[in-house]
Structure 1
Amino acid sequence: MATLTRPAPAPVPTDPARTGRRSRTPLTVERLSCALGAEVSGLDLGDAAHDDDLFARLRALLLEHKVLFFRDQDLARADHVTLAERFGPLEDHPVLGCDPDHPGLVRIYKDADTPVDRFENAFHCDATWRNNPPMGAVLRCVESPAVGGDTIWVNMALAYERLPQHVKDRIGGLRARHSIESTFGGRMPIEQRLALKERYPDPEHPVVRTHPETGEKILFVNSFATHLTNYHTDENVRYGIDYAPGASDLLQYLVSQASIPEYQVRWRWTAGSVVIWDNRSTQHYAVQDYWPAVRQMERAGIAGDRPF
Protein backbone atom coordinates (compact mmCIF):
# COMPACT_ATOMS: atom_id res chain seq x y z
CA MET A 1 0.00 0.00 0.00
CA ALA A 2 1.02 3.64 -0.32
CA THR A 3 -1.06 6.25 1.50
CA LEU A 4 -3.65 4.77 3.85
CA THR A 5 -7.09 6.02 2.96
CA ARG A 6 -8.37 6.09 6.51
CA PRO A 7 -9.91 9.58 7.01
CA ALA A 8 -8.64 11.93 9.68
CA PRO A 9 -10.78 11.67 12.82
CA ALA A 10 -13.32 14.34 13.67
CA PRO A 11 -12.38 16.71 16.51
CA VAL A 12 -12.80 15.03 19.86
CA PRO A 13 -14.12 17.01 22.86
CA THR A 14 -11.46 17.83 25.41
CA ASP A 15 -11.23 15.33 28.23
CA PRO A 16 -11.72 17.31 31.50
CA ALA A 17 -9.26 15.04 33.30
CA ARG A 18 -6.60 15.82 30.70
CA THR A 19 -7.38 19.54 30.82
CA GLY A 20 -6.92 19.59 34.56
CA ARG A 21 -3.57 17.85 34.33
CA ARG A 22 -2.38 20.16 31.55
CA SER A 23 -3.29 23.38 33.33
CA ARG A 24 -1.03 22.71 36.30
CA THR A 25 2.18 22.89 34.23
CA PRO A 26 3.05 25.90 32.04
CA LEU A 27 4.17 25.14 28.51
CA THR A 28 7.82 26.02 27.91
CA VAL A 29 9.84 25.93 24.68
CA GLU A 30 13.64 25.72 24.79
CA ARG A 31 15.73 25.90 21.62
CA LEU A 32 18.31 23.11 21.41
CA SER A 33 20.59 24.52 18.71
CA CYS A 34 21.05 27.68 16.70
CA ALA A 35 19.94 25.87 13.54
CA LEU A 36 16.71 24.09 14.47
CA GLY A 37 14.89 22.09 17.12
CA ALA A 38 13.16 22.91 20.39
CA GLU A 39 12.31 20.87 23.47
CA VAL A 40 8.73 21.40 24.62
CA SER A 41 7.82 20.85 28.26
CA GLY A 42 4.50 21.09 30.05
CA LEU A 43 2.51 19.64 27.16
CA ASP A 44 0.92 16.19 27.25
CA LEU A 45 0.81 14.87 23.69
CA GLY A 46 -2.18 12.75 24.63
CA ASP A 47 -4.00 16.02 25.29
CA ALA A 48 -2.81 17.53 22.01
CA ALA A 49 -4.23 14.52 20.17
CA HIS A 50 -7.73 15.50 21.35
CA ASP A 51 -7.60 19.28 21.89
CA ASP A 52 -7.93 21.69 18.94
CA ASP A 53 -6.21 24.64 20.64
CA LEU A 54 -3.27 22.59 21.86
CA PHE A 55 -2.80 20.99 18.47
CA ALA A 56 -2.87 24.37 16.73
CA ARG A 57 -0.11 25.57 19.09
CA LEU A 58 1.86 22.41 18.39
CA ARG A 59 1.61 22.81 14.63
CA ALA A 60 2.72 26.44 14.80
CA LEU A 61 5.75 25.45 16.88
CA LEU A 62 6.63 22.75 14.37
CA LEU A 63 6.66 25.22 11.49
CA GLU A 64 8.82 27.57 13.55
CA HIS A 65 11.38 25.06 14.84
CA LYS A 66 11.11 22.21 12.26
CA VAL A 67 11.71 19.54 14.95
CA LEU A 68 10.00 19.31 18.35
CA PHE A 69 11.30 17.16 21.21
CA PHE A 70 9.35 15.85 24.20
CA ARG A 71 10.40 13.84 27.27
CA ASP A 72 8.45 11.51 29.57
CA GLN A 73 5.34 11.14 27.43
CA ASP A 74 2.90 8.43 28.49
CA LEU A 75 1.50 8.19 24.97
CA ALA A 76 -0.63 5.17 24.12
CA ARG A 77 -0.39 3.79 20.60
CA ALA A 78 -3.96 4.86 19.84
CA ASP A 79 -3.18 8.45 20.88
CA HIS A 80 0.10 8.31 18.95
CA VAL A 81 -1.86 7.49 15.79
CA THR A 82 -4.61 10.03 16.55
CA LEU A 83 -2.05 12.80 17.08
CA ALA A 84 -0.24 12.04 13.82
CA GLU A 85 -3.51 11.83 11.88
CA ARG A 86 -4.33 15.39 12.89
CA PHE A 87 -1.52 16.46 10.56
CA GLY A 88 -2.86 14.26 7.73
CA PRO A 89 -3.45 10.67 6.57
CA LEU A 90 -0.83 8.11 7.56
CA GLU A 91 1.35 5.96 5.30
CA ASP A 92 2.52 2.40 5.62
CA HIS A 93 5.99 1.29 4.50
CA PRO A 94 6.63 -1.36 1.84
CA VAL A 95 9.66 -2.85 3.61
CA LEU A 96 9.47 -2.02 7.32
CA GLY A 97 6.81 -3.73 9.44
CA CYS A 98 3.72 -1.98 10.82
CA ASP A 99 1.93 -2.62 14.10
CA PRO A 100 -0.88 -5.09 13.23
CA ASP A 101 -3.45 -3.19 15.28
CA HIS A 102 -2.45 0.27 14.07
CA PRO A 103 -1.78 0.42 10.29
CA GLY A 104 0.57 3.27 9.54
CA LEU A 105 2.50 2.84 12.80
CA VAL A 106 5.87 1.51 11.63
CA ARG A 107 7.87 -0.56 14.10
CA ILE A 108 11.62 0.05 13.99
CA TYR A 109 12.87 -2.55 16.44
CA LYS A 110 16.60 -3.25 16.77
CA ASP A 111 18.30 -5.72 19.10
CA ALA A 112 21.06 -8.32 19.17
CA ASP A 113 19.04 -10.66 16.94
CA THR A 114 18.04 -8.03 14.38
CA PRO A 115 20.23 -7.91 11.26
CA VAL A 116 22.22 -4.70 11.13
CA ASP A 117 20.99 -2.47 8.31
CA ARG A 118 22.38 0.70 6.80
CA PHE A 119 19.17 2.50 5.89
CA GLU A 120 18.99 4.88 8.83
CA ASN A 121 22.62 5.85 9.32
CA ALA A 122 22.79 8.13 6.32
CA PHE A 123 21.43 11.64 6.09
CA HIS A 124 18.05 11.29 4.47
CA CYS A 125 14.60 12.78 4.10
CA ASP A 126 12.05 10.00 4.59
CA ALA A 127 10.66 8.27 1.52
CA THR A 128 11.65 10.73 -1.19
CA TRP A 129 11.30 7.64 -3.41
CA ARG A 130 7.55 8.40 -3.31
CA ASN A 131 5.95 10.82 -5.77
CA ASN A 132 4.57 12.57 -2.68
CA PRO A 133 7.15 12.23 0.12
CA PRO A 134 5.87 12.39 3.71
CA MET A 135 4.94 15.73 5.26
CA GLY A 136 6.45 14.63 8.57
CA ALA A 137 6.45 12.00 11.29
CA VAL A 138 5.79 11.39 14.96
CA LEU A 139 8.44 9.06 16.40
CA ARG A 140 8.12 7.53 19.87
CA CYS A 141 10.88 5.75 21.80
CA VAL A 142 9.66 2.51 23.38
CA GLU A 143 13.06 1.33 24.62
CA SER A 144 16.45 2.97 24.29
CA PRO A 145 20.06 1.89 24.85
CA ALA A 146 21.76 3.05 28.04
CA VAL A 147 24.06 5.03 25.78
CA GLY A 148 24.13 5.59 22.02
CA GLY A 149 21.39 5.48 19.41
CA ASP A 150 21.04 9.26 19.10
CA THR A 151 19.35 10.88 16.10
CA ILE A 152 20.61 13.98 14.28
CA TRP A 153 18.30 16.36 12.39
CA VAL A 154 19.41 18.94 9.83
CA ASN A 155 17.85 22.22 8.71
CA MET A 156 17.91 21.96 4.91
CA ALA A 157 16.41 25.42 4.46
CA LEU A 158 19.47 26.80 6.24
CA ALA A 159 21.70 24.52 4.15
CA TYR A 160 20.23 26.08 1.00
CA GLU A 161 20.37 29.62 2.36
CA ARG A 162 24.11 29.36 3.06
CA LEU A 163 25.12 27.91 -0.31
CA PRO A 164 27.35 30.21 -2.36
CA GLN A 165 25.28 32.30 -4.75
CA HIS A 166 26.94 30.83 -7.84
CA VAL A 167 25.87 27.36 -6.67
CA LYS A 168 22.29 28.54 -6.12
CA ASP A 169 22.28 29.98 -9.63
CA ARG A 170 23.55 26.69 -11.02
CA ILE A 171 21.05 24.39 -9.31
CA GLY A 172 17.89 26.51 -9.45
CA GLY A 173 16.24 24.53 -12.24
CA LEU A 174 17.84 21.12 -11.70
CA ARG A 175 15.92 17.95 -10.87
CA ALA A 176 17.01 14.58 -9.45
CA ARG A 177 15.81 10.98 -9.37
CA HIS A 178 15.20 9.23 -6.04
CA SER A 179 15.21 5.45 -5.68
CA ILE A 180 13.87 2.80 -3.32
CA GLU A 181 15.28 0.09 -5.59
CA SER A 182 18.91 1.04 -5.00
CA THR A 183 18.45 1.49 -1.24
CA PHE A 184 15.86 -0.75 0.44
CA GLY A 185 15.79 -2.99 -2.63
CA GLY A 186 19.54 -3.39 -2.96
CA ARG A 187 19.77 -6.51 -0.80
CA MET A 188 16.68 -8.18 -2.29
CA PRO A 189 16.75 -10.96 -4.92
CA ILE A 190 16.50 -9.42 -8.37
CA GLU A 191 12.88 -10.43 -8.96
CA GLN A 192 11.79 -8.90 -5.67
CA ARG A 193 13.88 -5.79 -6.25
CA LEU A 194 12.42 -5.20 -9.69
CA ALA A 195 8.92 -5.74 -8.37
CA LEU A 196 9.60 -3.09 -5.72
CA LYS A 197 10.77 -0.65 -8.38
CA GLU A 198 7.69 -1.38 -10.50
CA ARG A 199 5.52 -0.57 -7.49
CA TYR A 200 7.51 2.59 -6.71
CA PRO A 201 9.05 3.90 -9.96
CA ASP A 202 11.87 6.36 -9.31
CA PRO A 203 10.25 9.80 -9.02
CA GLU A 204 11.87 13.05 -10.12
CA HIS A 205 11.96 15.93 -7.63
CA PRO A 206 13.36 19.47 -7.79
CA VAL A 207 16.82 19.84 -6.28
CA VAL A 208 15.48 22.97 -4.57
CA ARG A 209 11.89 22.70 -3.36
CA THR A 210 9.60 25.35 -1.89
CA HIS A 211 7.97 24.70 1.47
CA PRO A 212 4.19 24.80 0.83
CA GLU A 213 3.41 26.56 4.14
CA THR A 214 6.40 28.79 4.91
CA GLY A 215 7.61 29.55 1.38
CA GLU A 216 11.21 28.68 2.33
CA LYS A 217 13.59 27.34 -0.30
CA ILE A 218 14.95 23.94 0.72
CA LEU A 219 17.86 21.88 -0.57
CA PHE A 220 16.02 18.66 -1.40
CA VAL A 221 18.56 15.96 -2.29
CA ASN A 222 19.64 13.20 0.08
CA SER A 223 20.95 9.63 0.15
CA PHE A 224 17.94 8.40 -1.89
CA ALA A 225 18.93 10.66 -4.82
CA THR A 226 20.75 8.75 -7.55
CA HIS A 227 21.40 11.29 -10.32
CA LEU A 228 20.51 14.65 -11.81
CA THR A 229 18.09 14.24 -14.69
CA ASN A 230 18.34 17.51 -16.65
CA TYR A 231 22.00 18.47 -16.22
CA HIS A 232 23.31 17.45 -19.67
CA THR A 233 22.70 20.71 -21.52
CA ASP A 234 24.90 22.86 -23.73
CA GLU A 235 25.14 25.38 -20.91
CA ASN A 236 26.54 22.81 -18.44
CA VAL A 237 28.48 20.38 -20.63
CA ARG A 238 31.38 21.40 -22.89
CA TYR A 239 33.15 18.02 -22.78
CA GLY A 240 32.01 14.67 -21.47
CA ILE A 241 33.92 15.16 -18.21
CA ASP A 242 31.58 18.03 -17.34
CA TYR A 243 28.78 15.47 -17.11
CA ALA A 244 30.62 12.35 -15.95
CA PRO A 245 31.73 12.83 -13.25
CA GLY A 246 30.78 16.54 -13.19
CA ALA A 247 27.06 16.03 -12.55
CA SER A 248 27.60 13.34 -9.91
CA ASP A 249 30.28 15.45 -8.22
CA LEU A 250 27.78 18.32 -7.96
CA LEU A 251 25.08 16.02 -6.58
CA GLN A 252 27.45 14.61 -3.95
CA TYR A 253 28.51 18.12 -2.97
CA LEU A 254 24.86 19.05 -2.43
CA VAL A 255 24.06 15.86 -0.52
CA SER A 256 27.10 16.44 1.71
CA GLN A 257 25.69 19.74 3.01
CA ALA A 258 23.58 17.79 5.52
CA SER A 259 26.76 16.69 7.31
CA ILE A 260 27.71 20.24 8.35
CA PRO A 261 27.37 20.45 12.17
CA GLU A 262 26.28 24.11 12.12
CA TYR A 263 23.01 23.02 10.47
CA GLN A 264 22.25 20.23 12.97
CA VAL A 265 20.68 19.30 16.29
CA ARG A 266 21.31 15.99 18.09
CA TRP A 267 18.86 14.20 20.40
CA ARG A 268 19.57 11.55 23.01
CA TRP A 269 16.63 9.19 23.33
CA THR A 270 15.07 7.92 26.54
CA ALA A 271 12.04 5.67 26.87
CA GLY A 272 8.88 7.76 26.56
CA SER A 273 10.48 10.54 24.54
CA VAL A 274 8.77 11.66 21.33
CA VAL A 275 9.98 13.69 18.36
CA ILE A 276 7.83 15.36 15.71
CA TRP A 277 9.56 16.65 12.60
CA ASP A 278 8.80 18.39 9.35
CA ASN A 279 10.08 16.03 6.68
CA ARG A 280 9.83 18.69 3.98
CA SER A 281 12.54 20.94 5.41
CA THR A 282 14.80 18.55 7.33
CA GLN A 283 16.94 15.47 7.00
CA HIS A 284 17.93 13.08 9.77
CA TYR A 285 20.52 10.43 10.63
CA ALA A 286 19.98 7.63 13.16
CA VAL A 287 23.34 6.82 14.73
CA GLN A 288 23.83 3.04 14.87
CA ASP A 289 26.51 2.82 17.50
CA TYR A 290 24.59 0.79 20.10
CA TRP A 291 24.52 -2.81 18.83
CA PRO A 292 23.87 -5.29 20.48
CA ALA A 293 21.80 -3.11 22.82
CA VAL A 294 18.05 -2.80 22.25
CA ARG A 295 16.48 0.21 20.54
CA GLN A 296 12.75 0.09 19.82
CA MET A 297 10.98 2.95 18.06
CA GLU A 298 7.50 3.41 16.60
CA ARG A 299 6.92 5.94 13.83
CA ALA A 300 3.72 7.34 12.38
CA GLY A 301 4.55 8.74 8.95
CA ILE A 302 2.25 11.48 7.62
CA ALA A 303 1.44 11.68 3.92
CA GLY A 304 2.67 14.76 2.07
CA ASP A 305 2.30 16.58 -1.22
CA ARG A 306 4.33 16.63 -4.43
CA PRO A 307 7.43 18.85 -4.11
CA PHE A 308 7.59 21.93 -6.33
Structure 2
Amino acid sequence: MEELSAQSLLTLWQIGRSGSFSAAARTLGWSQPAISQQITRLEKQTGMTLVRRTSHGVELTDAGAMLARHGGMIAERLGRASHELEDLRRRRLSRLRVLAPPSICSTIVARAMVGLGRDGDIEVNVDQAEPPEAVERVRSGKADLAVVFEHRSLPHSLPLDEGLAWEPLGDDPLLLLVRRADAGRTDACRADVRDGAVPAGAAAPAAPAAPADLADWADAAWIAGCDTCKANLLAMASAAGFTPDIRHATDDYWTTQTLVEMGVGVSIVPALDTVNQLRPSLAALPLADPRAVRVIGVLTRAGDDRPAVAAFRASLARTAARVLRAPAAD
Protein backbone atom coordinates (compact mmCIF):
# COMPACT_ATOMS: atom_id res chain seq x y z
CA MET A 1 0.00 0.00 0.00
CA GLU A 2 1.28 3.47 -0.88
CA GLU A 3 2.17 5.88 1.90
CA LEU A 4 -0.81 7.51 3.60
CA SER A 5 -1.34 11.22 3.08
CA ALA A 6 -0.93 13.33 6.22
CA GLN A 7 -3.41 15.85 4.80
CA SER A 8 -6.04 13.13 4.26
CA LEU A 9 -5.60 11.90 7.85
CA LEU A 10 -5.94 15.46 9.10
CA THR A 11 -9.11 15.89 7.02
CA LEU A 12 -10.54 12.62 8.35
CA TRP A 13 -9.87 13.77 11.93
CA GLN A 14 -11.64 17.08 11.28
CA ILE A 15 -14.66 15.29 9.77
CA GLY A 16 -14.89 13.14 12.91
CA ARG A 17 -14.73 16.25 15.11
CA SER A 18 -17.27 18.30 13.17
CA GLY A 19 -19.65 15.51 12.13
CA SER A 20 -20.03 16.64 8.52
CA PHE A 21 -18.07 17.18 5.32
CA SER A 22 -19.30 20.76 4.97
CA ALA A 23 -18.26 21.77 8.49
CA ALA A 24 -14.84 20.17 8.01
CA ALA A 25 -14.45 22.01 4.70
CA ARG A 26 -15.21 25.37 6.35
CA THR A 27 -12.71 24.73 9.15
CA LEU A 28 -9.92 23.58 6.85
CA GLY A 29 -10.57 26.16 4.14
CA TRP A 30 -11.24 23.58 1.41
CA SER A 31 -14.28 23.11 -0.81
CA GLN A 32 -16.63 20.26 0.10
CA PRO A 33 -15.89 18.38 -3.18
CA ALA A 34 -12.17 18.56 -2.38
CA ILE A 35 -12.83 17.10 1.07
CA SER A 36 -14.93 14.30 -0.43
CA GLN A 37 -12.21 13.50 -2.98
CA GLN A 38 -9.59 13.17 -0.24
CA ILE A 39 -11.71 10.69 1.71
CA THR A 40 -12.68 8.73 -1.43
CA ARG A 41 -9.00 8.45 -2.34
CA LEU A 42 -8.10 7.38 1.22
CA GLU A 43 -10.84 4.71 1.25
CA LYS A 44 -9.63 3.33 -2.09
CA GLN A 45 -6.08 3.32 -0.81
CA THR A 46 -6.96 1.44 2.37
CA GLY A 47 -9.68 -0.74 0.88
CA MET A 48 -11.95 0.08 3.83
CA THR A 49 -14.97 2.25 4.51
CA LEU A 50 -13.85 5.09 6.76
CA VAL A 51 -16.91 7.37 6.89
CA ARG A 52 -20.54 6.31 7.24
CA ARG A 53 -23.50 8.59 6.48
CA THR A 54 -26.24 8.77 9.13
CA SER A 55 -29.50 10.65 9.56
CA HIS A 56 -27.61 13.21 11.64
CA GLY A 57 -24.66 13.69 9.31
CA VAL A 58 -21.63 11.40 9.12
CA GLU A 59 -19.69 9.27 11.58
CA LEU A 60 -16.39 7.45 11.44
CA THR A 61 -16.19 3.67 11.24
CA ASP A 62 -13.82 1.82 13.56
CA ALA A 63 -11.13 1.97 10.88
CA GLY A 64 -11.86 5.65 10.31
CA ALA A 65 -11.65 6.42 14.03
CA MET A 66 -8.29 4.65 14.26
CA LEU A 67 -6.84 6.65 11.38
CA ALA A 68 -8.41 9.85 12.70
CA ARG A 69 -6.48 9.49 15.96
CA HIS A 70 -3.29 9.74 13.94
CA GLY A 71 -4.76 12.76 12.17
CA GLY A 72 -5.32 14.34 15.59
CA MET A 73 -1.66 13.77 16.46
CA ILE A 74 -0.67 15.47 13.20
CA ALA A 75 -2.91 18.43 14.06
CA GLU A 76 -1.39 18.67 17.53
CA ARG A 77 2.18 18.58 16.20
CA LEU A 78 1.38 21.25 13.59
CA GLY A 79 -0.10 23.46 16.28
CA ARG A 80 2.92 22.94 18.50
CA ALA A 81 5.30 23.72 15.64
CA SER A 82 3.48 26.99 14.94
CA HIS A 83 3.57 27.94 18.62
CA GLU A 84 7.28 27.17 19.00
CA LEU A 85 8.08 29.03 15.79
CA GLU A 86 6.20 32.07 17.05
CA ASP A 87 8.05 31.87 20.37
CA LEU A 88 11.36 31.74 18.51
CA ARG A 89 10.39 34.61 16.22
CA ARG A 90 9.41 36.85 19.13
CA ARG A 91 12.10 35.46 21.46
CA ARG A 92 9.49 34.87 24.13
CA LEU A 93 9.79 32.67 27.19
CA SER A 94 9.22 28.94 26.78
CA ARG A 95 5.70 28.44 28.08
CA LEU A 96 4.36 25.25 29.61
CA ARG A 97 0.67 24.58 30.27
CA VAL A 98 0.57 22.28 33.31
CA LEU A 99 -2.40 20.45 34.85
CA ALA A 100 -2.77 18.77 38.26
CA PRO A 101 -5.45 18.04 40.91
CA PRO A 102 -5.67 20.51 43.83
CA SER A 103 -3.61 18.54 46.38
CA ILE A 104 -0.81 17.97 43.86
CA CYS A 105 -0.91 21.60 42.68
CA SER A 106 -0.31 22.94 46.17
CA THR A 107 2.29 20.43 47.34
CA ILE A 108 4.30 19.33 44.32
CA VAL A 109 3.65 21.51 41.28
CA ALA A 110 3.94 24.88 43.08
CA ARG A 111 7.18 23.82 44.77
CA ALA A 112 8.56 22.47 41.49
CA MET A 113 7.89 25.85 39.89
CA VAL A 114 9.98 27.53 42.57
CA GLY A 115 12.65 24.88 41.98
CA LEU A 116 13.02 26.07 38.39
CA GLY A 117 14.36 29.38 39.66
CA ARG A 118 12.87 32.83 39.38
CA ASP A 119 15.26 34.02 36.67
CA GLY A 120 14.86 31.10 34.27
CA ASP A 121 13.44 31.25 30.76
CA ILE A 122 10.45 28.96 31.43
CA GLU A 123 6.98 30.31 32.13
CA VAL A 124 4.62 27.77 33.73
CA ASN A 125 0.85 28.26 33.56
CA VAL A 126 -0.99 25.97 36.00
CA ASP A 127 -4.61 24.85 35.86
CA GLN A 128 -6.41 22.34 38.10
CA ALA A 129 -7.81 19.18 36.51
CA GLU A 130 -8.59 15.64 37.66
CA PRO A 131 -6.87 12.73 35.82
CA PRO A 132 -9.45 11.91 33.09
CA GLU A 133 -9.71 15.53 31.96
CA ALA A 134 -5.95 16.08 32.26
CA VAL A 135 -5.15 13.05 30.10
CA GLU A 136 -7.50 14.23 27.35
CA ARG A 137 -6.16 17.78 27.41
CA VAL A 138 -2.54 16.59 27.13
CA ARG A 139 -3.49 14.18 24.35
CA SER A 140 -5.29 16.92 22.40
CA GLY A 141 -2.45 19.41 22.81
CA LYS A 142 -4.43 21.76 25.07
CA ALA A 143 -1.85 21.17 27.81
CA ASP A 144 1.85 20.27 27.67
CA LEU A 145 2.21 18.28 30.87
CA ALA A 146 0.03 16.89 33.66
CA VAL A 147 0.80 15.51 37.10
CA VAL A 148 -1.87 12.87 37.66
CA PHE A 149 -2.55 9.86 39.85
CA GLU A 150 -3.78 6.29 39.53
CA HIS A 151 -5.15 4.29 42.47
CA ARG A 152 -3.62 0.90 43.25
CA SER A 153 -7.16 -0.43 43.63
CA LEU A 154 -7.92 0.59 40.02
CA PRO A 155 -4.89 -0.47 37.96
CA HIS A 156 -4.69 0.64 34.32
CA SER A 157 -7.53 3.14 34.84
CA LEU A 158 -5.67 5.99 33.15
CA PRO A 159 -6.70 6.07 29.45
CA LEU A 160 -3.16 6.01 28.07
CA ASP A 161 -2.06 5.15 24.53
CA GLU A 162 1.11 5.14 22.46
CA GLY A 163 0.84 8.89 21.99
CA LEU A 164 1.39 9.56 25.70
CA ALA A 165 4.34 9.02 28.04
CA TRP A 166 3.80 8.26 31.76
CA GLU A 167 6.56 8.41 34.40
CA PRO A 168 5.75 7.56 38.06
CA LEU A 169 7.08 10.02 40.63
CA GLY A 170 6.15 8.22 43.86
CA ASP A 171 3.45 6.75 46.08
CA ASP A 172 0.97 8.80 48.08
CA PRO A 173 -0.64 6.71 50.89
CA LEU A 174 -4.40 6.95 51.41
CA LEU A 175 -5.65 7.68 54.93
CA LEU A 176 -8.99 7.33 56.71
CA LEU A 177 -10.16 10.77 57.84
CA VAL A 178 -12.34 10.62 60.99
CA ARG A 179 -13.11 12.72 64.03
CA ARG A 180 -10.48 12.21 66.71
CA ALA A 181 -13.27 11.43 69.17
CA ASP A 182 -14.42 8.55 66.94
CA ALA A 183 -10.99 7.08 66.28
CA GLY A 184 -11.36 4.71 69.22
CA ARG A 185 -13.25 2.15 67.14
CA THR A 186 -9.91 1.20 65.54
CA ASP A 187 -6.65 0.08 67.09
CA ALA A 188 -4.98 3.02 65.37
CA CYS A 189 -6.30 5.55 67.89
CA ARG A 190 -2.86 6.03 69.47
CA ALA A 191 -1.67 8.21 66.57
CA ASP A 192 -2.89 10.29 63.70
CA VAL A 193 -0.97 8.31 61.09
CA ARG A 194 1.24 5.31 60.66
CA ASP A 195 4.95 6.02 61.03
CA GLY A 196 6.34 6.96 57.63
CA ALA A 197 2.95 7.21 55.92
CA VAL A 198 2.83 10.99 55.72
CA PRO A 199 5.10 12.94 53.36
CA ALA A 200 7.79 15.28 54.63
CA GLY A 201 6.33 18.45 56.07
CA ALA A 202 3.40 16.85 57.91
CA ALA A 203 3.32 16.41 61.67
CA ALA A 204 5.16 13.31 62.88
CA PRO A 205 3.02 10.64 64.59
CA ALA A 206 3.18 10.36 68.34
CA ALA A 207 3.67 6.60 68.18
CA PRO A 208 3.47 3.82 65.59
CA ALA A 209 -0.15 2.85 65.06
CA ALA A 210 -1.85 -0.33 63.88
CA PRO A 211 -3.43 0.19 60.45
CA ALA A 212 -7.20 0.64 60.42
CA ASP A 213 -9.45 -2.00 58.91
CA LEU A 214 -11.91 -0.41 56.51
CA ALA A 215 -14.54 -3.02 57.47
CA ASP A 216 -14.67 -1.50 60.97
CA TRP A 217 -16.27 1.56 59.36
CA ALA A 218 -18.78 -0.27 57.18
CA ASP A 219 -21.74 1.25 59.06
CA ALA A 220 -20.46 4.85 58.73
CA ALA A 221 -21.77 7.50 56.37
CA TRP A 222 -19.15 8.32 53.73
CA ILE A 223 -17.90 11.43 51.98
CA ALA A 224 -16.54 10.68 48.52
CA GLY A 225 -14.16 12.79 46.45
CA CYS A 226 -13.91 13.27 42.68
CA ASP A 227 -15.31 10.61 40.34
CA THR A 228 -11.98 8.76 40.29
CA CYS A 229 -11.69 8.89 44.09
CA LYS A 230 -15.29 7.71 44.45
CA ALA A 231 -14.52 4.71 42.24
CA ASN A 232 -11.53 3.95 44.46
CA LEU A 233 -13.70 4.12 47.60
CA LEU A 234 -16.19 1.71 46.07
CA ALA A 235 -13.42 -0.70 45.03
CA MET A 236 -11.73 -0.68 48.44
CA ALA A 237 -15.03 -1.05 50.29
CA SER A 238 -16.03 -3.94 48.04
CA ALA A 239 -12.74 -5.69 48.84
CA ALA A 240 -13.52 -5.15 52.55
CA GLY A 241 -16.95 -6.77 52.09
CA PHE A 242 -19.38 -3.83 52.18
CA THR A 243 -21.02 -1.15 50.07
CA PRO A 244 -20.36 2.33 51.46
CA ASP A 245 -23.28 4.62 52.29
CA ILE A 246 -22.08 7.68 50.34
CA ARG A 247 -23.95 10.73 51.58
CA HIS A 248 -21.79 13.51 50.11
CA ALA A 249 -19.25 14.01 47.34
CA THR A 250 -16.76 16.87 47.01
CA ASP A 251 -13.27 17.32 45.57
CA ASP A 252 -12.61 20.22 47.97
CA TYR A 253 -10.46 18.99 50.87
CA TRP A 254 -11.48 21.83 53.21
CA THR A 255 -15.13 20.95 52.69
CA THR A 256 -14.32 17.31 53.41
CA GLN A 257 -12.58 18.26 56.66
CA THR A 258 -15.55 20.38 57.73
CA LEU A 259 -18.07 17.63 56.99
CA VAL A 260 -16.02 15.06 58.91
CA GLU A 261 -15.55 17.52 61.77
CA MET A 262 -19.33 18.04 61.92
CA GLY A 263 -19.79 14.29 62.30
CA VAL A 264 -21.75 13.74 59.08
CA GLY A 265 -19.37 11.14 57.69
CA VAL A 266 -15.86 9.78 57.24
CA SER A 267 -13.66 9.87 54.16
CA ILE A 268 -10.55 8.50 52.46
CA VAL A 269 -8.01 11.21 51.65
CA PRO A 270 -4.48 11.16 50.22
CA ALA A 271 -1.63 11.89 52.63
CA LEU A 272 -0.69 14.90 50.51
CA ASP A 273 -3.96 16.53 51.54
CA THR A 274 -2.82 16.49 55.17
CA VAL A 275 0.55 18.15 54.49
CA ASN A 276 -0.61 21.75 54.71
CA GLN A 277 -3.18 21.34 57.48
CA LEU A 278 -5.03 18.73 59.52
CA ARG A 279 -7.44 20.17 62.04
CA PRO A 280 -6.74 19.18 65.68
CA SER A 281 -10.21 17.65 66.02
CA LEU A 282 -9.51 15.17 63.21
CA ALA A 283 -7.39 12.06 62.83
CA ALA A 284 -5.94 10.69 59.59
CA LEU A 285 -5.52 6.94 60.09
CA PRO A 286 -3.40 4.59 57.97
CA LEU A 287 -5.28 1.76 56.25
CA ALA A 288 -4.49 -1.94 56.37
CA ASP A 289 -5.33 -2.50 52.72
CA PRO A 290 -1.99 -2.59 50.79
CA ARG A 291 -3.81 -1.03 47.83
CA ALA A 292 -4.57 2.10 49.85
CA VAL A 293 -2.12 4.10 47.74
CA ARG A 294 -2.35 6.38 44.76
CA VAL A 295 0.60 6.47 42.37
CA ILE A 296 1.50 9.99 41.25
CA GLY A 297 3.29 10.54 37.97
CA VAL A 298 4.05 12.92 35.11
CA LEU A 299 2.16 12.67 31.83
CA THR A 300 3.45 14.19 28.58
CA ARG A 301 3.01 13.50 24.90
CA ALA A 302 5.35 10.81 23.62
CA GLY A 303 8.43 12.27 21.97
CA ASP A 304 8.03 15.73 23.51
CA ASP A 305 11.72 16.29 24.21
CA ARG A 306 11.67 20.09 24.49
CA PRO A 307 14.23 21.38 27.01
CA ALA A 308 11.49 23.20 28.97
CA VAL A 309 9.54 19.95 29.44
CA ALA A 310 12.68 18.07 30.52
CA ALA A 311 13.60 20.82 32.99
CA PHE A 312 10.18 20.88 34.61
CA ARG A 313 10.01 17.08 34.81
CA ALA A 314 13.38 17.10 36.59
CA SER A 315 12.15 19.75 39.05
CA LEU A 316 8.98 17.71 39.69
CA ALA A 317 11.07 14.61 40.37
CA ARG A 318 13.24 16.47 42.90
CA THR A 319 10.18 17.85 44.69
CA ALA A 320 8.33 14.53 44.67
CA ALA A 321 11.32 12.78 46.24
CA ARG A 322 10.82 15.00 49.31
CA VAL A 323 7.07 14.53 49.76
CA LEU A 324 6.24 11.08 48.33
CA ARG A 325 7.29 7.53 49.10
CA ALA A 326 9.53 5.89 46.53
CA PRO A 327 7.45 4.07 43.88
CA ALA A 328 6.70 0.49 44.89
CA ALA A 329 8.13 -2.24 42.68
CA ASP A 330 5.48 -3.87 40.50
Please give the range of the TM-score, normalised by the shorter of the 2 chains.
Answer: under 0.3
The TM-score normalised by the length of structure 2 is 0.22
Using CA pairs under 8 Å that are at least 6 residues apart, name the structure with larger relative contact order, 1 or 2.
1
The TM-score normalised by the length of structure 1 is 0.23
Tell which structure's C-alpha radius of gyration is larger: 2
**Structure with the higher helix share, 1 or 2:** 2
